[in-house]
Structure 1
Amino acid sequence: MKTRIPTLVTAALTLALAAAFVAALSGTAQAQQAASAAPKPALTVKRVVAQPSTWPLRLSGTGSIAAWQEVVIGAEIGGQRLAALHVDVGDRVKKGQLLARLSPGTLEADLAASRAALQEAEASAREAHQTAERVKTLQGSDALSPQSIDQALAADAAAQARVAAARARVQADQLRLSYTQIAAPDDGVISARIATPGALVQPGQELFRLQRGGRLEWRAEVPGAELAPLKAGQLVRVQPSGAPPVEGRIRRIAPQVDAQTRNGLVYVDLPAGEALRAGLFARGDFVLGESPALTLPQSAVLLRDGFSYVFRIDGSKVRQQKVQVGRREADRVELRSGLAAGAAVVESGVGFLADGDTVRVAP
């Protein structure tokens, strides 16, 4: 009897401990369920509405800046040494300005010899002409035979021809000597200098390159299917790499499209500027007019999985709405579809929201 009493006490204690443990587990589960059922804290958001406005209608293009016309200046005679250079790369020159001088060599001596030969021919021609004039007075008399008269007249004509030939040689030697003075064919900027002082030049050898008039142009590549609305004289906003943006005008449009790229060239005149350089890459927009646009701040649009979304405010909830975006201007973006004008959406912080979240709209 004494042995059974401790056993019963032990069993009772065990049951009491088990009941307490089960109660504790039940309380923990109920607390977890209550915590999961509690609503998430509401985020504070700002409200913005989609606004209709008028935006410029633009067509984009890319390309390089190049000289309007680049003139290759070379030597017109050969076998002469380059005696002096008077300009360098970047210099602005005027039409007719001396750029370089070749050594005249024997050209001056050749010209002097040609002039002397001309003087000799002119003296002989004067004598032959005087003889012919005297002979003409004796025509019809028996003083001279007809053969002698004809010979005198022929000698006069031959002397005049020798004078003309000598005069042509003088002009040719003068022209060759003038070629030693290499002058600018037009106003412009020296864009390259290949000449080296003391070098022996050859006919046609390139010495300089000249940007004619200092004018630059943007040669933009535009898809051929989008060339139709472009016209000469239209305004273009060009953004060169590493330089401030400039405004230009379409000068002409290429009559054909490249068969490989399917792009056409558009030539845009650019204003003169120290920051612009031939060879720079540039992007630009052709201003085609204006069109209505429904806009929102770019911060209100969320890019997710390759699509654009906004979060419409529906009371204290937000609803995710898929939209299609278009043009961008400064910090605003155009909505082409998916939202009506005046619809209220979350202005910023959309990356932290999900469809159906509870929010608090800031005043």
Structure 2
Amino acid sequence: MNPRSNPSMVMKNDRSAAMSLRGFRSGVFIKSAVFFGLAALGVLAGALPLLLRSTPLSAQNPESPVPTVAVVTPKPARPVSPLLSADVKPVQEAPIYARANGYLKRRYVDMGDAVCEGQLLGEIDAPELLQELQRARAQLAQAEAALELARVTAQRWAELVKSASVSEQENTEKQADYRLKKANAAAARAEVQRLEQMVSYTRITAPFTGMITSRSVDVVDLVVAGAAKALFRLAQTSRLAVFVQVPQHMARDIQVGQEAEMTVPELLGWTFHPRVTRTAGVIAADSRTFLVELELDNLNGEVLAGSYAQVRFKESGATAALTLPSRAVLFRPEGARVAVVRDQGVVELRAVTLGRDFGQTIEILSGLNATDRVIASPFESVAAGATVLATMAESEERSQ
């Protein structure tokens, strides 16, 4: 049977199609309403903190005209003394050169030997120098003999001129000859003394107590006076000098006599305590650092001279800066501000100078006292002159 030939069947089909269309439209409307409702809730949840933060303090609690805020007090910053690189050197060190030409006849010490001041280290054989000294002594004897003769002659001529037995000219010549012989004798004596001093340089002695750190000659080696090659190198290692380049911001805290802590990477668990002996007094323009010298007793030789070390200076008693939670600082166009609660709960926006940022806390260099009460988390809209009810923050109560 053809459905079109039956009017009742056609009407039934049209009614079913209309009902299906209305069901589809109502489903789409419900889904759209749910979607837009969820989107509105998300926008409201994201904007609510901003709305609360921008809401004036007096409007947050309509039932209480005076809002309650948590306050904190500034805390002294923990002293941060960085580890600084240091060079460890002998307190006294010197190369020993030859002062006389010759050959090394004897050597009495070697590298690593401890020596005392004045101890003989070696001897130089210098036969030419000894011969020069003998000749100079002979010339001195001649000069002294000639001087004695000239002295006697001058005295005799001085007596004869009184009786006019000799002329004034002859007497003047004899007196001048005496002075000439006297000067010759003095020159010969000085030459002898010079050569005797040169001969003494054939004995190589230690200028101070210490340790032989290097030796570059051996027996029968040719030794030349004034050569760039040192015979020995001597260092005093019982006391060590520690040199540290201190950054500019720490320079004013360094005082002579101040104690420091020194560690050497190779000596795990060892801590040494040198003291400041002197400072450069000026900051180097090229590195902006302050040269400091410390001294360390090293009688047992635990620390080797020439080592790399690290030094940490103990606190010198300088006033420590204050710190606040980072969230307590307001960054305004006119600069950093903090909300200080004064007497009777009046808010004051105070300018502060910031220092180092430690993450959760920030250093306050100036603008606050340790007794000031600062709003721990102020709203951006907080204004000077507002009245609040201050309560201590939970962190403050735990610290007390």
Query: Please, what TM-score do these two structures have when normalized by structure 2?
Result: 0.56
Cα shift at 1:123? 1.4
Structure 1 143/193 Cα, relative in aligned 2: closer, same or farther at 3 Å? same
**Closer, same or farther in 2 for the Cα pair 1:225/1:81, shift >3 Å?**
same
1:63 aligns with 2:89: no
Deviation at 1:73, TM superposition (A): 1.6
Deviation at 1:259, TM superposition (A): 4.2
Letter in 1 for 2:87: S
The residue type equivalent to 1:280 in the other structure is: S
CA distance in 2 between partners of 1:339 and 1:287 (Å): 33
Residue in 1 that maps onto 2:26: none
Amino acid at match of 2:313: F
Match of 1:26 in 2: none
Q: CA deviation at 1:260?
A: 4.5
The aligned residue for residue 119 of structure 1 is 141
2:97 maps to 74
**Per the alignment, in what secondary structure is the counterpart of residue 69 of structure 1?**
strand
Verify: 1:187 aligned to 2:201, yes or no: no
Q: Which of 327, 340, 344 is the aligned partner of 2:395?
A: 340
Residue number in structure 2 paired with 1:109? 131
When residues 325 and 242 of structure 1 are mapped into structure 2, their CA distance, relative to the original with a 3 A threshold, is: farther
CA apart distance, 1:195? 2.8
Of all paired residues, the percent bearing the same amino acid is 29
**For 1:154, what is the secondary structure of its paired residue?**
helix
* Inter-partner Cα distance in structure 1 for 2:288 and 2:260: 21
Point out the structure with the larger strand share. Answer: 1
Cα distance, 1:175 vs structure 2: 1.1
Residues 166, 213 of structure 1: CA spacing in aligned structure 2 closer, same or farther, 3 A cutoff?
A: farther
Written as runs of structure 1 = structure 2, the 5 A alignment for 1:1-363 is 58-78=81-101, 80-205=102-227, 206-212=230-236, 214-243=238-267, 244-272=270-298, 273-288=300-315, 340=395
How many residues matched?
A: 253
Residue 109 to residue 340, structure 1, CA distance change in 2 (3 Å): same
1:173-232 CA-to-partner distances (Å, cap 9, x unmatched) read 101111111212222222222333322222223222222474211112322222211111
Alpha-carbon distance in structure 2 between the residues aligned to 1:216 and 1:64: 10
SS of equivalent to 2:136: helix
> What are the ranges of 5 or more consecutive residues in structure 2 without an aligned counterpart?
1-74, 321-358, 364-375, 377-392
Query: Normalized per residue, which structure has more helix?
Result: 2
**Deviations for 1:24-49, whole angstroms, at most 9, x for unmatched residues?**
xxxxxxxxxxxxxxxxxxxxxxxxxx
Equivalent-residue separation in structure 2 for 1:248 and 1:81 (angstroms): 44
1:92 and 1:339 map into 2 onto residues whose CA distance is 66
Cα distance change of structure 1 residues 61 and 118 upon mapping to structure 2, 3 Å threshold: same
AA aligned to 2:218 is T
Q: Note closer, same or farther for the CA distance 1:174–1:144 as it changes in structure 2 (3 Å cut).
A: same
- Does the 8 Å CA contact 1:235/1:247 hold for their aligned counterparts? yes
SS at match of 1:251: strand
What RMSD in Å do the two structures reach over aligned CA positions? 3.2
The 8 Å contact of residues 237 and 301 in structure 2, kept in 1 or not, is answered as no
What per-residue deviation string (whole Å, max 9, x for no partner) do you get for residues 90-112 of structure 1?
A: 32222222122111221112111
User: Quick one: distance in 2 between partners of 1:270 and 1:236?
Assistant: 10
Q: Which amino acid aligns with 2:118?
A: G
Equivalent residues of 2:258, 2:316 under 8 A apart:
no
1:92·1:188 contact (CA, 8 Å) conserved in 2? yes
Distance 2:283 2:395 in 1: 40
Counterparts in 2 of 1:72 and 1:275: CA distance versus 1, 3 Å: same
- Runs of at least 5 residues in structure 1 that lack an aligned partner in the other structure: 1-51, 293-321, 327-336, 345-363
